Amino acid sequence: MFQAGYGRYATYGVIAVLPGEIIDSIWHIIDRNLQGVVPLQNMLNFNLGEKEGKLTITFTEADNAAIKITFDLPYSWNEEFPKEVLAYDDGRSQTILLPSEAS
């Protein structure tokens, strides 16, 4: 799952609330920090938070809460950011979406 080279997208809901640089950072985290390090399911969970005024993104493995990795990013935190985003891989394309869009 989440192999580079497949079409990658973000839903309108995500694009409306997150700058493109942050969306790209999530793909970068998947490619450079998670791929080959932890087994990836077809749905990944990322929690967005704030630390010292900057954005943090925390990946938590759905099947193993002991696997939790937090990434500090150089982007300013905004209260309008969603608290959570998902990344979904259907085997043909990969999409970042809001939890409310996953239903």
Higher pLDDT, 55 or 68: 55
Spatial CB neighbours of 81, under 8 Å, sequence gap ≥ 6: 17, 18, 22, 48, 55
Spatial CB neighbours of 51, under 8 Å, sequence gap ≥ 6: 72, 77
Q: What is residue 97's predicted lDDT score, i.e. its pLDDT?
A: 98
Please tell me the pTM assigned to this model. Answer: 0.93
Summarize pLDDT for 29-48 with one digit per residue, the tens: 999 999 999 889 999 999 99
**If you count them, how many residues does the chain have?**
103
Give the amino acid at 94: Q
> 7-101 adopts what CATH topology?
Nuclear Transport Factor 2; Chain: A, (3.10.450)
Task: Sketch the domain layout of the chain as residue ranges.
Answer: 7-101
